Structure formats: C-alpha cells, structure tokens
Amino acid sequence: RPQAGPQTTFLASPADIAIYGGSAGGGKTWALLMEPLRHVANPAFGAMFFRRTTVQVRNEGGLWDESQKLYPLIGADPKEHVLKWEFPSGASVAFAHLEHDKTVLNWQGSQIPLICFDELTHFSAKQFWYMVSRNRSMCGVRPYIRATCNPDADSWVAEFISWWIDPDTGLPIPERGGKLRWFVRIGDAIIWADSPEELVDYKNPVDGEPIPPKSV
C-alpha cells in the first residue's frame, strides 16, 4: 500500500491529471507503478508509461527495473522484448519512449485509458498535449493521466502548475497540495477556474461544441 503522505494523496486524487512532484527518493516512481493496479482485473484495461528515452526506461532503479519487484507479485507475466506486463485477466501495462517530438505520431489513433509520464519535465509541452488527445477509454475506466516530476523552474510544467507554487520561494504551497483546479485549452491558451461550472461557456472554435473541462 502507499506510504502515508504524498503517495497516498497522489493515489487518492480524483483529478483527470495529477502530478506528483519532489526530489529524488520521494517514492514517486513507486506511486506511479501502483496506480494501474486498481484496474488490472479489467481484461480490456491498458496503461502506458512513458520516459523520454528507452535507456531511461531500462536504467537500474528505473520503471522496468522497479516494476519487476512489484508486478510479478500480482501474477503478471513480463514480455521484456516489448517492455510489457500482461496480467492474468488480460489487462496490460507497457513502457515506451517519446524521444523526439514526432515520436508521438506513433500513437496516432490510439486509445489509452491511463497514461503515466515519469519525469514530466523531460517531455515537451507538444508531446504532453498530443498524448492527452490519445487519453481515451472504451474499457469502462474513465481516462486519466498521472505524472511525476522533479523541480525545474525552466520547464513548461512550472508554468502549468504555477498556482500550486509560491512565486517568491519556488516551493510548493502546502495547503494547495491536492487541491483541484479546472481548465479548458483553446489552441495553446489554458483558461483556469476553481470549478467546472465556470468554464461551461467555452466552445471549440472549430465545431462550436462545448469543451469538457479537465481537472488537475
């Protein structure tokens, strides 16, 4: 089970997109690896974990290495040549890279119920938002995204999560940790609100349809 504190808060979040930040050794990767386990009895469920390079996926102490300490305990079968675990139900968890911006095109047409980014600051905003468009589900699991990151003031992620960060110190605002905010994205512009109701008037400029707000 998760450790009390940030791990538990992260794994209990109802957000469409939840980001677990902090320095090395905070249990972020383990929390990310635990996330799919709530769905592995669903034979149609699949999760994808991303690192920027395959080397990072395979590194000692990285995603694949750590997953070998956890997933076999639940009866998962490793397919190391494709970096994939298959669970007895048929559910799967796989690992892949997004080394270049154009690599995301490999996922064109995909429907991925759970997308996990390990070290989100290593990815470009273009990669992240493209994969958000692939976050779809036909398996009964509401599509959602989980990510970890180390502090990086120069990353696009810093701007994305700026409401949760003290601008004077660069440190998290403790009382805002775990608090939900909502947004819609039009082009590259993100409009934030404290509730989804505040965003109901925003429409897709292409087809005029309402834009479903997402929570963070």
37: CATH: 3.40.50.300
136 shares a domain with 86: yes
In a domain, 1, yes or no: no
Task: Give the range of the structural domain holding residue 202, as residue numbers without chain letter.
Answer: 181-216
Number of helices and strands in the chain (H, E): 6, 10
Q: What is the pLDDT of residue 142?
A: 96
Taking the chain (216 residues) in runs of 10, the rounded mean pLDDT of each run is: 91 97 81 97 97 90 92 96 97 96 94 96 96 95 95 91 93 93 95 97 91 97
Q: What is the pLDDT of residue 210?
A: 93
Give the global pTM: 0.95
Q: What is the pLDDT of residue 190?
A: 97
Ranges of H-type helices in 76-196: 125-133, 156-160
205 shares a domain with 165: no
154 shares a domain with 55: yes
95 shares a domain with 202: no
Backbone angles phi, psi at 187, to 5 degrees: 65, -125
Contact, 91 vs 45, CB < 8 A? yes
59 shares a domain with 148: yes
Contact, 28 vs 62, CB < 8 A? no
192 shares a domain with 101: no
Burial of 150 (0-12, 13-18, 19+ CB in 10 A): middle
Q: Distance between CA atoms of 74 and 81, rounded to whole angstroms?
A: 20
Q: What is the pLDDT of residue 25?
A: 67
- Length of the chain (residues): 216
* Structural domains counted in the chain: 2
56 shares a domain with 151: yes
Name beta bridge partners: 21: 149
In a domain, 114, yes or no: yes
| Rg, the chain, Cα only | 17
149 shares a domain with 42: yes
212 shares a domain with 119: no
208 shares a domain with 126: no
